[in-house]
Chains A and B, each alone.
Chain A
Amino acid sequence: MAEELSLLGMWASPFSCRVKIALKLKVVQYKYVEEDLFNKSPLLLKYNPIDKKVPVLVHNGNPLLESLVILEYIDETWQGYPIFPKDPYERAVARFWAKFIDDKLLPAIRRACWGEEKGREKAVEEATELLQLLEMELKEKRFFGGETIGLVDIVADTLSLWLTSFEEGSGVELMTREKFPKLSKWSHEFASTSAVKENLPPKDELTVFLKSLFGKPAK
């Protein structure tokens, strides 16, 4: 049976980008469908009636939702490049950090960059503490996955290009080279990896878009 694989995504979404990176690493062909999030297509509403979000991977008519779930599905379905570690304990550690990034770090970064002026200082402090934990986890490794990128690197994509755009768009500095030498180096190496580089959106356009999405006029 001919395989049918489509990805419903959005150019500025780091979550869609994760899936593109994973499919590239596995050397899997797919059809990409760009979604307008302000005017969602019937296709998106059909495949994800639950929260109507991207990314949605549709494989042989079956929709897969939530980027972390999709990454695991991709790893289980296509051989070749390993995204998850093999060892159960290392898989648990990778899952833990993936969850940490999505559940704790990203919301904290959003609050620090785009939250209300009133709580700004506290939010920056919180985001900084959480980034420190990730900085420590990287240790002396080139990537979270070791010598090559793995699950946590892919999930941390937001910390490379998107965080730079957040910082430029909001004027809030979080991941400076002085405070985060390891993460800063990682960010550069990650963005230079071919599977990542060709899937990143253009930075200036991204900054403009994020600023219009998150930035609020001063009250």
Chain B
Amino acid sequence: MGDQVKLIATPQSLPCCRVEWALKLKEVDYEYIEEDLRNKSAFLLESNPIHKKVPVLLHAGKPIVESLVILEYIEETWKDKYPLLSDDPHERAMARFWAKFGDEKCVVGAFGAAWLTEGEEKNKAIESAQESLAFLEKQIEGKKYFGGEQIGFLDLAVGWIPHWLKALEEVGEMKVLDPGRFPSLHEWGQNFLEIPLIKNSLPPREKVVEYFNAGRSYKRSLEAANKP
């Protein structure tokens, strides 16, 4: 059919999951095309020639890449079901700002800390990631979800925290999301994971741990290969 929706994705990948959550909330039918990132398909390389990454959403054959860009596209295209963003321009801007912040500071910070071996540098990286999370803690204080009474754009964007961050803590042998320091964020995370649509779509934690470990080994092998 002309309007067919396809999603090229990997089950353990956090940016892929946020796109699936959005599609499910909007009740959009889509074909899931699983990608093996260690052996990228011609289809992926054709659909995302610049970044060669997942997720890629294809709608009527046209590719859209970058998960937050895809979320905006989903919001604008399937307008009649489940609004992800508020109608108010200032609230929309704040959701977009914090989503960007979440990716640039929290994701990068947490992964950076995970890959470091134990020591001063690692502790500093963990502290830095926690400083970033502290901003999100402030944003969620007094609210059930970032979107208010129901989850929205920002909840999906930072939805990796309750599940993927736990897996990252295991892989990185570190504690980042300390419930004592981040009580509101921790509670939000628990509520988020209880939502049936989210709960039923989470990849098993062991698989996420495996996926992160594989990513780290691959990265290290690249670094080793690049050494003289």
Listed in ascending order, the chain A residues whose CB lies under 8 Å from chain B are 50, 59, 62, 64-66, 68-70, 72-73, 76-77, 88-89, 91-92, 95-96, 99-100, 133
**Which residues 72-119 in B have Cβ within 8 Å of A in the complex?**
72-73, 76-77, 89-90, 92-93, 96-97, 100-101
Could you tell me if A88 and B76 are in contact, using CB atoms closer than 8 angstroms? yes
List the B side residues contacting A62 at CB < 8 Å. 90
Candidates A77, A92, A96, A100; contact of B89 at CB < 8 Å: A77
Known: A89-B62, A89-B64, A133-B50. A70 touches B72 (CB 8 A): no
Interface residues of B (CB under 8 A from A): 50, 59, 62, 64-66, 69-70, 72-73, 76-77, 89-90, 92-93, 96-97, 100-101, 135
When the two chains form the complex, which single residue of B62, B73, B93, B101 contacts A91, counting CB atoms closer than 8 Å? B73
- Distance, CA A92 to CA B67, complexed state (A): 11
Q: A64-B97, A66-B97, A89-B59 are in contact. List 5 more A-B contacts (CB 8 A).
A: A62-B90, A88-B73, A89-B64, A92-B70, A96-B65
Closest beta carbon of chain B to A82's beta carbon, Å? 14
Q: A76-B89, A77-B89 are in contact. Are A50 and B135 (CB under 8 A)?
A: yes
**B96, A69: Cβ atoms closer than 8 Å:** yes
Do B72 and A92 touch across chains, with their CB atoms under 8 A apart? yes
Q: Give the docked Cα–Cα distance between A92 and B155 (Å).
A: 21
Are A95 and B92 closer than 8 Å at their CB atoms?
A: no
Contact pick for A92, options B73, B90, B92, CB 8 Å: B73
Min distance, Cβ A85 to any Cβ of chain B, angstroms: 11
CA distance A72 to B66 in the complex (A): 17
- Chain B contact residues: over half helix, strand or loop, or mixed? helix
Residues of chain A contacted by B76 (CB below 8 angstroms)? 88, 91
- B144 CB to closest chain A CB (Å) equals 23
A64 to B88, CA, bound (A): 13
Knowing A50-B135, A64-B90, the reply to whether A92 touches B64 (Cβ < 8 A) is yes
Q: Is the CB of A95 within 8 A of B100?
A: no
CA A92 – CA B71 in complex, angstroms? 10
- B91 nearest in chain A by CB position: A62
B132 and chain A: residue at smallest CB distance: A50
